[in-house]
Amino acid sequence: MKLRFLFYLLLFTLSKSLSAQNAVVSLDFHQVLYVGLDNPISIAVEGIKSQDLIVSITGKGNYIQKIADGRYIAKVLPQKDSSSCLINVSVQSKDKTKLVSSKSYKIRFVPKGEVKFGSLINNGFYTKEEILNQKELVYQNDAIIQDILNYKIVQYQFLHIPKRGFFELVTCNGSQINETVRNMIKHSMVGDIIVIDRIKISNGHSTFEQKPITFNVAQKSEGLFKIEGMVFNNDQIFPFLYPETANQEDSFPNAASRHGVWKTEEFSYHLNSFFLKQKDSFHYGKLLYTEIYSDSQLEYRIDCLPNQIFQFTSYYKNGKAFQTGEIAFKKPHETFNYEKHYPASVNPNKDSDFAEYRINIEGNYYPKGQWKIYHHTGKLKQSFDYVLIDDSLRYKQHLFKTEQSFSNQETEQFYLIVLDGTAVSYNKEGKVEKRIVFRNGYPVKR
């Protein structure tokens, strides 16, 4: 009876140790198998030789291949009824096969990336100088995906098609713009076409060819623009047109004599056309609002409200408001800063608390009062208040560096733009996620 008990105990112990074998399956692509790629995989089972492993993959058309001890390549196809597959690892011992690991991995298509010639936009118009300023071809993709896939540009063809004469073609390795290509650019003329073709990207496992890049060699931009609107003189209203052919140094009517909607169009050699840059609305010399556009996309608007209040609104690409609040215009002798250097012992988390609610606007103005930021859907994301306080530290530094001996000049003034009051963050459903109370920039309550 005792011998039988010892036999069963030994058998149980062996079975437990076999079932507890540590199998490691490691994907370079972070639990994702990409369609069409050679997905590299490392597989090892503790205490088992590589030749004793049987590795398989589920899914129609999927297969996995051993390329070296512990190293495998998996290729997958999109599946009709599933967006994932299993990689099974079994151990072969004598006449038995034992499954030691079965893990599920997502199947995804490779995200579409883009190759750019430096900072130039495909199908754009650029001067020879702008083209020569570019150093290399750049492959761009979603930041996380790009790190995972690790694609590099390994080869491309540079084609110069002159307006007159024969084309030139050179094949280059890597992503750099070499001296041969630079000389071809230097000899290009206005109206010539440049094509970068046969662009190959590789991550050491897979190689893909990207779409070609094309752009035109343009003449140097003279900052051409045209303006149209209405002017008034007493009770008479006249149309005004400032065409692109005008002498760009000529003056045009000042704001006090304008009426109605004024449009400023600017020429873009990238688009090879004029686009609406600015729109101003006047009522007999009084400015009602200003809208600023980028390639016909409304970027922001400033509404001129009563009592010299200016309301700023910036926009998402879908046309919905991104952020809105009151602004004031800077004076030449005023300096505004968002930062304040608190002692670490007083507020060690100042940077993260402040940066979360900080806004960025451009121009000769600064934010004040209550501001609101919205989600893409139009729902409120954040609300907070800005106040101005004297920046005594910078003022003292200024006095130390300069002598205030010019009585005919206004004294330099320094201000801090800081949070004050309750700052609230909302999620996309409109529920409060965070609430922080600030006093002159200090978070005093969470």
- pLDDT, tens only, 315-344: 988 889 999 999 988 887 788 776 544 433
Instruction: Inform me whether the pLDDT recorded for 288 exceeds 50.
Output: yes
| DSSP SS3 for 52 | helix
Give whole-number Cα distances, 446 to 268, 422, 426, in Å.
Answer: 49, 9, 15
Which residues make beta-bridge pairs with 180? none
The whole-number pLDDT of residue 147 equals 60
Q: Which of 27, 8, 120 is nearest to 72 (CA)?
A: 27
Pick 6 or 390 by higher pLDDT. Answer: 390
- Which helix (H) or strand (E) covers residue 426, if one does? strand 421-426
- CA–CA separation, 258 vs 242, rounded Å? 13
Joined together, the tokens standing for residue 374 give 């919205």
What are the DSSP E strand ranges found in 151-296?
152-161, 168-173, 193-202, 207-210, 213-217, 225-233, 236-242, 258-268, 273-283, 286-294
Instruction: Provide the residue type at 69 as one letter.
Output: D
Task: Report residue 346's pLDDT band, with 50, 70 and 90 as the boundaries.
Answer: very low
The whole-number pLDDT of residue 255 equals 85
Is residue 259 a contact partner of residue 283, using CB atoms and an 8 Å limit? Answer: yes
Mean residue pLDDT of the chain comes to 80
Task: Report residue 40's pLDDT band, with 50, 70 and 90 as the boundaries.
Answer: confident
- Which helix (H) or strand (E) covers residue 389, if one does? strand 380-390
Vertex 174: Cα angle to 172 and 180 (nearest 5): 35
Query: Cα–chain-centroid distance for residue 436?
Result: 28
Instruction: Provide the residue type at 269 as one letter.
Output: Y
Instruction: Inform me whether the pLDDT recorded for 290 exceeds 60.
Output: yes
Is residue 388 a contact partner of residue 415, using CB atoms and an 8 Å limit? Answer: yes
The whole-number pLDDT of residue 407 equals 44
- CA–CA separation, 341 vs 24, rounded Å? 49
Is residue 313 a contact partner of residue 301, using CB atoms and an 8 Å limit? Answer: yes
Domains and CATH numbers, the chain: 19-108 (2.60.40.10), 114-217 (no CATH), 221-295 (no CATH), 307-446 (no CATH)
Q: Which of 37, 18, 12, 17 is nearest to 27 (CA)?
A: 37
Instruction: Inform me whether the pLDDT recorded for 165 exceeds 60.
Output: yes
* 163-169 mean pLDDT: 84
| DSSP SS3 for 148 | helix
- CA–CA separation, 31 vs 38, rounded Å? 14
The whole-number pLDDT of residue 6 equals 43
- pLDDT, tens only, 226-248: 889 999 988 899 999 887 665 55
**Residue 362: is it exposed, middle or buried by C-beta count within 10 angstroms (0-12/13-18/19+)?**
exposed
- pLDDT, tens only, 64-86: 999 999 899 999 999 888 889 99
